[in-house]
Structure 1
Amino acid sequence: MDIKAYIESGILELYVAGTLSEKENKEVYALMQKHPEILQEVLEIESAVVKLTAATSAHNPKKTIQHLKQKLGFKNTKVVSIKPKYNWLTYTGWAAAVILGAGLLWTVNRNNQLQSDIKVATINEQLLESEIEKANNNLKDAKHLISVLRDRNIIAVPLAGQTVYPDAYAKVYWDKNSNNIYLDVQGLPTPPEGKVYQVWSLTLNPLSPTSLGTLDDFNTDANKIFTIENTNQSQAFGITLEPAGGSATPTLEQLYTLGVVETNS
């Protein structure tokens, strides 16, 4: 498309004046969204119309006449005006003002709608980019998790349900090389309001618990898989239900799951 020829064709001036058909208006509007040069030209035409309207205002006729005399080079020449029997020019001027005002109002509305559409399009584009980035991150995390679970050096520790909730279950995948555990808690029920699950690393003789943190995002995490740093020489892992913020020591009456790390004899 020859954008320069299109701009010089005069159709944009007709668009601003509001004299095009609905189909032609839609075509021009679509091209404005596609070509920044056309959009800029429309905005400049609108600005010129507004300035022209202000410049031809009849609020101060004497000043306007004086300005014209100066521009035309007249000095002391008297300007004689003849008042026609019927002041058709006044009526015509008012009619032109009404038509121009209506055209300007339509243009302003179209301009506001265009700006609104551009703003919505920008927001939608940002949301789409955010969703794409989120999907890419989820895919990257999924691939990493798969590679971890397939590593033969990973220690898998199933955590069985306890007295408070026998149907509960979870599983720990312990990567000693990275000092991380990957905790799958899909088998835990949703904690009640004001409560949170807390993960513990345990040594058995004597029994000594070390907190690995709380699962604050349990309710919002769709996969229910958490990566937790663990530098301890863990002999077992447990999960308890604690007050929000966690506890210094596990509440054994609220022990939901427990699993012992199997050692090779």
Structure 2
Amino acid sequence: MCLSWWTFASLCFLKLVLGSSVISAGRHGASNASICLLPPVEGPCQGLLPRFYYDRFTQTCQEFSYGGCDGNENNFMYQEDCEKTCWKIKKVPKICRMEAAVGPCRGLFKKYAFNLSIMRCELFYYGGCYGNDNRFGDEASCTEHCAPKRNKYTRLTSVIIDAPSFCYSPKDEGSCTASVTRYYFNIETKACEEFIYTGCGGNSNNFVKIEDCNSVCKQEFFMSQSLQIKTMKNDSLLNPFNVQETTALYSFGNQTQGTPNSTEFTDTPA
């Protein structure tokens, strides 16, 4: 028996929506931040499903239209899911996010550019004119300017973080030309810091007053002064770094959460 056009279209739409939901639900079960570096892929189907992807060039989560099938894992149903998965991606300066540009001239000048896809500097040959600022005379200076610095701060495991998702968003100056003083929560330093907002665009990690930033974002990361630290003496062969076992109390709003047996790592060799 032949299906009517309306029945056929309805079945296709149902498959598109349900299939897409199943894919999305299972897609982000693991918190693998490397998916955030993938380019957005709409897929071959004809749906117009609003989704979010992490834009490695703007270092923010952006909306795009998903066709409903195939694509890749940099595809989130909600902006909050995108931000929670991708906020750990190391941030790099704006010029380092540009693609290496040879320029229109025909010289062969040995230069280095930061490749955001692999997060390291690569050799390329510059033509000698135009191009962009992602161009360095040697690999060392490129790495010094662009490569994410090794984190020498305390790393604590099993910490419960309950701040609003936009607190994970990177500083975003916006796309206009004004110079307005604003404040944002810096996830690396866990502090509210001043920046210059250009007046439009940007993201929600943008506060008029530092007090508002502190009350919304910083308090969720506040660590009380009640720390019990004991040094573990480890075999240098098994543990090439100094390791300290730390028990800390963390305050989230009116609640206090403990993190017993969390571990502090430093970069100082034993």
Per the normalisation by structure 2, the TM-score is 0.24
Greater percentage in helix: 1
Greater percentage in strand: 2
The structure with higher relative contact order (CA 8 Å, sep 6+) is 1
Per the normalisation by structure 1, the TM-score is 0.25
